[in-house]
Amino acid sequence: MKKKFRISVLGLELIFGAVVFGAFMCVLNSYNGYREFKNELEVIYGTVTEQFAQTAATYVNSQKIDYWIENGADDEWYETNERLIDITEASELVYVYVTKVAPDYMSRTYVFDTVNHQEKNSKVIELGYVQSLEKKDDYYRGKLRDVLEYSDNYSMFSYKKGGGHVTSAVPLLDTTGKPCAIVSVVKPMHEIKEYKRRFLKSIIIWALILTTLFIALYALFLYLGIIRPILLVTYETSHLAEHHGELTGGLKKVRGHNEISTLAKSVEKMSDDLNRFIIDLTHATAEKERLGAELNVAKKIQAEMLPRVFPPYENHSEVELFASMEPAKEVGGDFYDFYMIDDDHFALVVGDVSGKGVPAALFMVITKTLLKDTAAHEFDPAKIFEHVNTILCESNESGLFVTCWMGILTISTGELKFANAGHNAPIIVQNGEIKYLKTKPNLMLAGMEGIPYTTHSIKVSKGDRLFIYTDGVTEATDAQNELYGEERLLKVMQTIDDKSPREVIGIVRDDINAFVKDAPQFDDITMLEMLYKGL
C-alpha cells in the first residue's frame, strides 16, 4: 500500500523550537560575552587610570593645599601645575584636577585643573574656584566621602556615543597620613568603540555558526530518531482506526529501545488485543442482550408477584391501602404483600432481603411465599416468623437474610398484632399523634436458626394510619452522601392531613426525589400505607 507523506506538524514545532532556542542562546551568549568583555575593559581602564592619579598625587605638596587656596599661586604651584599638564598630555588624559571638599560635602574648591590641548570645548578652572555639589546625587557624594574618610580609591565610567571616559579619584595624604584633598583623573576611552565593534562581530559570527550547526544536527536527529518513527506510528494508528484494528506492518521499521519503539510495539499489541476484544465484545453483546431480555422478563414477573390492585378488596371497605416498590436494579430484594387470611383477619407484610439483583429477588420470592403459606393457618406473627426462619436457615448457603415487619389486623375489633424481624419501625398516625411504632426488634429472618420472635399488639381506631417502609427510604443519599433520615420522613408525614394512602406515598416519593436530586438510587425503595376506616 502506497503511503502518503505528510508534513509533520510535531517535527515543524520541534525544529521551530530548536531555532528559537538557538537564537535565544545566541543572543544570551553574545550578551554575556559582551558583558564580561565590558567588565574586563573597565577593570583595565580603572586600574591604569588610578595609577595615573596616584602618580599625579606624588607631584602635589599636600602641606601647601590650604596655603594656595588662601594666598594664591606661587612658584611651587606653577611648577606643580606644569608637571600635571605634562602627565595630562603624555598619558593622553582629558583632565587632571585636585580639589579640597567641604566638610559637609556640598561644595569643593579647585586647587589644580589641567585640560588636554585636544579638548577644544573645555576650559581650565582657576585656583580657588568653589564648585557647588548640591546637584550631585548621594551616590557621587558618598564616593567622595569614601575617599576622604576611608582612603578608598574609586573609578566611575561614563559611556556616550563617542566611546565614553573613566574618572578615577585617589586621596592626597598629608604628613600624618590622613586625606586632605582628592586627586581626580579623567581618561578617554575612544578605542573602546572599535573594541566593542570587533568583539561583537566576532562573537555573533561564531554564535551564528555554532547555532546553525547545532540546529542542523538537531533537525537530522529529530527526523531520524523521532519524527520519522512518529510519522510511522501516526500512520499505522490512523490505519488501525479506519480498518477495524488492522495494521500494514510498517511498525516493524521502528527499531531501538526508546519510548517510541516501545510505543510502536504497544500499538502492534493493541491491534492484536483490539481484534480479540472485538470478537469477545460481539459475543458479550449478544449475551448481554440475552440477559437483558431475561432480566426484563424477571422484572415483569417480580412486579406481577406483588399486589397491584388498589383498593384491594371491594367487599372490605374497612381498609384503604396503597403500596409501591422501586428496585435499584432491574430486579430487587424488597417486597410487600397484603391478603385476607379469613373474613376478619387482614395481613400486612413489608420485607427487605440483603443484597440486590437476581439473588436477592429469588430469595424474596421464597420468603414472600413462605410467609403467605404459613399465615394461611397461623394468626400469630411471631410463630409465623419462627416457622419461616427455620425453613430459610436450612439451605441458606448464600448467607442472605431478610428484615421483615408483619402485622395481622382483626378488622372487627381493630386489634393489630405485629412482629418485627430486624426491620425499620413503621410510623403510626393515631389520635392526632404521629410517631414511630418502636418496639425491641428481633433478629432478621435466616440469620440464625432457633431464634424466638415476639408478638406485640395495639388497638387502632377509625382514621388511624400505618406507614411501613424499607431502609431505602431513610437511607436515600444526596450528592453530599447525607441521609434522608427518619426525622425528615416524620416531618413529611406530619403534613398528610386527610390525604389518601396513594397520595401519601406520592408525597413521600416526591420529597425523596427533591432531597437526592440527581444522585443515583443505591437501594430498593418500598412503601406501604394502610388507612383503617373501621366497620
Name which of 346, 314, 338, 315 is nearest 412 in CA terms: 346
CATH number of residue 478's parent domain: 3.60.40.10
Same domain, 452 and 320: yes
Q: What is the pLDDT of residue 50?
A: 86
- For 289-346, the DSSP string reads HHHHHHHHHHHHHHHHHS---SSS-TT-TTEEEEEEEE-SSSS-SEEEEEEEEETTEE
Residue 169 CA, distance from chain mean position: 60
Confirm whether 241 is domain-assigned.
no
Q: What is the pLDDT of residue 2?
A: 44
Q: What is the pLDDT of residue 461?
A: 94
Average pLDDT over residues 3-24: 66
Average pLDDT over residues 163-190: 86
Q: What is the pLDDT of residue 256?
A: 64
Read off the pLDDT of residues 47-87 as tens digits, 9 standing for 90 and up.
Answer: 888 888 899 999 999 999 999 999 999 999 999 999 999 99
CA distance linking residue 298 with residue 359, whole number of Å: 12
Query: What would you measure as the largest C-alpha separation in the chain, in angstroms?
Result: 152
Query: Poorest-confidence range of 124-138, 350-364, 414-428?
Result: 350-364
Neighbouring CB atoms inside 10 A of 410's CB total 16
Q: What angle do CA 460, 461, 463 make, to 5 degrees?
A: 115
Domain that holds residue 140: 59-190
Contacts with 270 (C-beta within 8 Å, 6 or more apart), sequence order: 240
Confirm whether 293 is domain-assigned.
no
Read off the pLDDT of residues 427-469 as tens digits, 9 standing for 90 and up.
Answer: 999 988 999 999 988 999 999 999 999 999 999 999 999 999 9
Query: Poorest-confidence range of 75-89, 131-145, 193-207, 489-503?
Result: 193-207
Confirm whether 254 is domain-assigned.
no
Average pLDDT over residues 294-321: 76
Q: Of the candidates 156, 190, 224, which is a domain's last residue?
A: 190
Reading the block at residue 329, the C-alpha cell is 436494579
Same domain, 451 and 310: yes
Confirm whether 299 is domain-assigned.
no
CATH number of residue 159's parent domain: 3.30.450.20
Same domain, 185 and 316: no
Residue 513 has pLDDT above 90, yes or no: yes
Number of domains in the chain: 2
Q: Of the candidates 159, 190, 221, which is a domain's last residue?
A: 190
Q: What is the pLDDT of residue 328?
A: 80
Cβ atoms of residues 307 and 338 within 8 Å: yes
The edge-to-edge listing of strands for the beta sheet with 334-342 is 334-342, 345-353, 402-410, 415-421, 456-459
Residue 415 has pLDDT above 60, yes or no: yes
Same domain, 338 and 478: yes
Average pLDDT over residues 387-404: 90
Read off the pLDDT of residues 467-496 as tens digits, 9 standing for 90 and up.
Answer: 999 999 999 999 999 999 999 999 999 998
Average pLDDT over residues 257-271: 67
Same domain, 328 and 180: no
Same domain, 311 and 180: no
Give the HSE-up count for residue 311: Cα atoms under 13 Å, Cβ half-sphere.
Answer: 14
Q: Higher pLDDT residue, 130 or 165? A: 130
Q: What is the pLDDT of residue 6?
A: 53
Confirm whether 342 is domain-assigned.
yes
Read off the pLDDT of residues 325-382 as tens digits, 9 standing for 90 and up.
Answer: 988 876 778 899 999 999 899 999 999 998 777 788 888 889 999 999 999 999 999 9
Task: Tell me the average pLDDT of the chain.
Answer: 84
Q: How confident is the model at residue 196 (pLDDT cuts 50, 70, 90)?
A: low
Residue 183 has pLDDT above 60, yes or no: yes
Q: What is the pLDDT of residue 1?
A: 41
Confirm whether 63 is domain-assigned.
yes
Name which of 476, 488, 463, 479 is nearest 521 in CA terms: 476
Same domain, 321 and 453: yes
Q: Of the candidates 124, 157, 190, which is a domain's last residue?
A: 190
Contacts with 91 (C-beta within 8 Å, 6 or more apart), sequence order: 52, 187
Same domain, 171 and 319: no
Reading the block at residue 192, the C-alpha cell is 573602546
Query: Which secondary-structure segment (H or E) carries 469?
Result: strand 465-469
Confirm whether 51 is domain-assigned.
no
Query: Poorest-confidence range of 128-142, 218-232, 370-384, 407-421?
Result: 218-232
- For 401-446, the DSSP string reads -EEEEEEEEETTTTEEEEEEESPPPPEEEETTEEEE-----BPPBT
CA distance linking residue 472 with residue 474, whole number of Å: 6
User: What is the rounded end-to-end Cα distance, in angstroms, of the chain?
Assistant: 90
Same domain, 354 and 493: yes
Name which of 171, 143, 186 is nearest 49 in CA terms: 186
Beta partners for residue 531, in sequence order? 320, 465
The edge-to-edge listing of strands for the beta sheet with 165-173 is 130-132, 107-115, 95-101, 179-188, 165-173, 154-158
The fraction of the chain above a pLDDT of 70, given in percent, is 82
Confirm whether 224 is domain-assigned.
no
Q: What is the pLDDT of residue 255?
A: 66
Q: What is the pLDDT of residue 178?
A: 92
Reading the block at residue 45, the C-alpha cell is 581602564
Which pTM was predicted?
A: 0.50
